[in-house]
């Protein structure tokens, strides 16, 4: 299932800083993700795990799971903002084709539930994943047509994400951790150490 998360793995440089509202998990632009909303995705995923044989799966738990689910929401939202800026549209047909492509990859629609659990994607986030996949593919295609070498495309997409996140002033509540530039991920605040670059904002 590593391929299932390729798009999200592109993102390794989105700057996240301390969040201003106590009840907010994250905010960017005019959007605020409440802690209740963030927790609902975790609860949804945990409910799906309860219906699945997870004995052979390596799954996140606790604060690690909380961070990864919030990170997913932030990253897919930043992709959407890039799509708006660049006028990238995602059609219903494209979503269905991408969905069917995943079904073929995993062995049919009946396999989706356990594969979403393994990929740690809440069912209600599946369409967000599909949209982000399509947007990322369109960005990659545009960059390639512009002459960017294939080996540099993912780096360029990450740079676009970082720039857009900075424009949106993406912030995250410290209870979810801090952004570690060296690791390229949200990490627990007490384990970040000197790897964390303090925000100047």
Asked whether the whole model's pTM tops 0.75, one would answer yes
Asked, for residue 29, whether it belongs to a domain, the answer is: yes
β-bridge mates for residue 178, sequence order:
187
Asked, for residue 128, whether it belongs to a domain, the answer is: yes
Domain count, the chain: 1
pLDDT at residue 190 greater than cutoff 80: no
Asked, for residue 201, whether it belongs to a domain, the answer is: no
> What does the pLDDT average to over 171-191?
64
* pLDDT at residue 159, as a whole number: 83
Asked, for residue 176, whether it belongs to a domain, the answer is: yes
Asked, for residue 200, whether it belongs to a domain, the answer is: no
Its domain, for residue 9, covers 2-195
pLDDT at residue 38 greater than cutoff 50: yes
């Amino acid at each position: 299932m590593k391929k299932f998360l390729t798009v999200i793995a592109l993102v390794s440089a989105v700057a996240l800083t301390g969040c201003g509202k106590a009840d907010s998990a994250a905010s960017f632009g005019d959007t605020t993700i409440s802690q209740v909303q963030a927790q609902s995705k975790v609860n949804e995923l945990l409910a799906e795990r309860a219906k699945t044989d997870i004995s052979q799966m390596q799954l996140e738990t606790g604060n690690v799971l909380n961070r990864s689910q919030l990170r997913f929401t932030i990253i897919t939202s930043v992709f959407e903002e890039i799509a708006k800026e660049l006028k990238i549209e995602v059609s219903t047909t494209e979503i269905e084709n991408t969905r069917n492509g995943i079904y073929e990859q995993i062995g049919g629609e009946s396999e989706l539930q356990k594969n979403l659990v393994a990929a740690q994607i809440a069912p209600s986030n599946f369409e967000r994943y599909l949209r982000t996949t399509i947007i990322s593919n369109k960005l990659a295609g545009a960059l390639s047509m512009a002459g960017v070498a294939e080996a540099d495309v993912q780096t360029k997409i990450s740079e676009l994400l970082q720039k857009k996140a900075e424009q949106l002033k993406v912030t995250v509540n410290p209870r979810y951790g801090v952004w570690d530039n060296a690791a390229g991920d949200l990490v627990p605040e007490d384990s970040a150490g000197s790897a964390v670059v303090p925000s100047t904002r």
